[in-house]
Amino acid sequence: MLERDARLFSGIPLRFPAPKNTTMSNNNAKADPTIFIIFGGTGDLNARKIAPALYNLFLDGWMPKQFSIIGTGRTKLTDEQFRDNLHKDINQFSRSGKADEKKWAEFSANIYYQVSDATNAETYKEFGKRIEQHNKEWKTTANVLFYLAVAPNFFPIIASNISKAKLAEDKNRVRIIIEKPFGHDLESAKDLNELLKGIFDECQIYRIDHYLGKETVQNIMAFRFANSIMEPLWNRNYIEHVQISVTEQLGVEERGDYYDGSGAMRDMIQNHLLQLLCHIAMEPPVSFNADEVRDRKVDVLRAMRRFTPEDVRNSAVRGQYGSGWMKGQEVPGYREEPKVDPQSNTETFAAIKFFIDNWRWQGVPFYLRTGKRMHQSSSVITIQFKDVPHLIFPTEAAESWQQNRLIISIQPEMSIRLQVQAKRPGIDMVLNAVDMVFDYKGTYTNQAPEAYETLILDTMLGDQTLFMRGDQVEAAWELVMPILNTWQNKKSLNFPNYSADSWGPESAEALIARDGFNWFTLPVNGKK
């Protein structure tokens, strides 16, 4: 914790890897010997995210000297076949590019595969034997991390079978990592929490939201709490409104069956966007302790105004994309996508106006927007400050007047921009908006780690700061359930209501325009 505290409050991005061509000894890593057991070892998530993250942690010296990665699934593979598959995946998806042969040989010697049926409790005894074997070989008691990179319906089954095999008894050494979605609604989230808490202590449960591992998201904490100039301005007296916008150009691709049972609200707002809102709105924690930080996030969610059916009608917009053209290619509408109901009522776009009823934020609207098949792929938080109380400049000087904005860009660029008014060069007093920019590429030569690298390292170190706690998950579900219930009980008659390569339905523009605002977009390559 001390290392993370120092890095955060010194204003340095958290855990940047060593510079290229610099070696770091594994002795620098503070994790104890660790055994990873990855359920869904042959799946897409392991191929694209988990395996590349583990390899990059190894390259940058964060892996413990003694570690083992055990992939498991129903597919019959040998250790060597599994290693070959991961080698190809890492070559394709790793931020560090193709694996160095010498480094790969060293890393892959710690990779194993075990054929198993996750639903059969008997197969879990083999995991116990492997754990005992490693502990005997290493002459220590290793940490054991069960990573559930599988469909949500397997979460309860796997957790129960881990318990039946008596593999969860060491509360200090055994941890379970669970991907979203954590529950389909409030009741299923509560049921899953109850089941997990009957097997594990809360300190053993790591609910992953990869957005919280992104460098820019982590830097929100540093920006807010390591700079004294921000705190006096960070409240209703100076901030007019906040926008959080996460848009994607992609459609549902091959996820039609999953997405049709989920939708934009469950897939993005209940977790990713509400977590970003908590980062912006939380009170200063007493320390950078995991539970202290998470307590402050729960406070935000509990202070957020609940929705009545009338509020849903006035403050929530849903949309579904139709056909159109993206990058010169014709793309189908959502209802024409594979594995999607032709009469689907599932929203692919959602825009919600939230309020936080506390002293800091009373009356400040928070606008959240997310959607698929949008004009631009971006994740941007915009904080607009109130206008100056008295404008001293003549009208012609302030022809292009713009209020101060703080723009935190998570993607496609990683940057923090403060937009201020400045005098344009020349004899006349003419004002225009200029950007004061901090961007990662221009400031740091080191390559930022992927979100999964940061989060997996934290699971090894036993740091839960960036992971959602059970009550946090339930509080988020409590907030969005009235909206979901209203939408589910009333079929939309105007779907599809926005075309591909647009900024969403017109009603979303009206939602924010009624308050005198508009959605902000960040220029990409000089183009809006």
Return the H-helix or E-strand segment holding 137.
helix 124-138
Check: CB of residue 110 under 8 Å from CB of residue 152: no
Active site residue 210: no
Instruction: Return d(Cα 225, Cα 220) in angstroms, integer.
Output: 8
- Residue 209's alpha-carbon distances to 135, 149, 206, in angstroms, are 31, 13, 9
Residue 182: closest CA among 489, 480, 469, 460: 469
373: left (phi over 0), alpha (psi -120 to 50) or beta: left
Cis bond leading into 496, ω under 30°? yes
Residue 246: closest CA among 220, 217, 269, 219: 269
Instruction: Return d(Cα 182, Cα 169) in angstroms, integer.
Output: 23
Instruction: Return d(Cα 297, Cα 283) in angstroms, integer.
Output: 8
Check: CB of residue 11 under 8 Å from CB of residue 438: no
510: left (phi over 0), alpha (psi -120 to 50) or beta: alpha
Check: CB of residue 317 under 8 Å from CB of residue 492: no
Instruction: Return d(Cα 453, Cα 381) in angstroms, integer.
Output: 23
Return the H-helix or E-strand segment holding 4.
helix 2-9
Cβ-Cβ contacts under 8 Å for 122 (sequence gap 6 or more): none
Catalytic residue among 134, 210, 241, 272: 272
Find where tokens 């904005």 sit: 405
End-to-end CA distance of the chain: 41
Six token digits for residue 432: 């225009």
> Do you know the residue count of the chain?
528
φ, ψ of residue 230 to 5 degrees: the values are -85, -40
CB neighbours of residue 277 within 10 Å? 23
Catalytic residues: 272
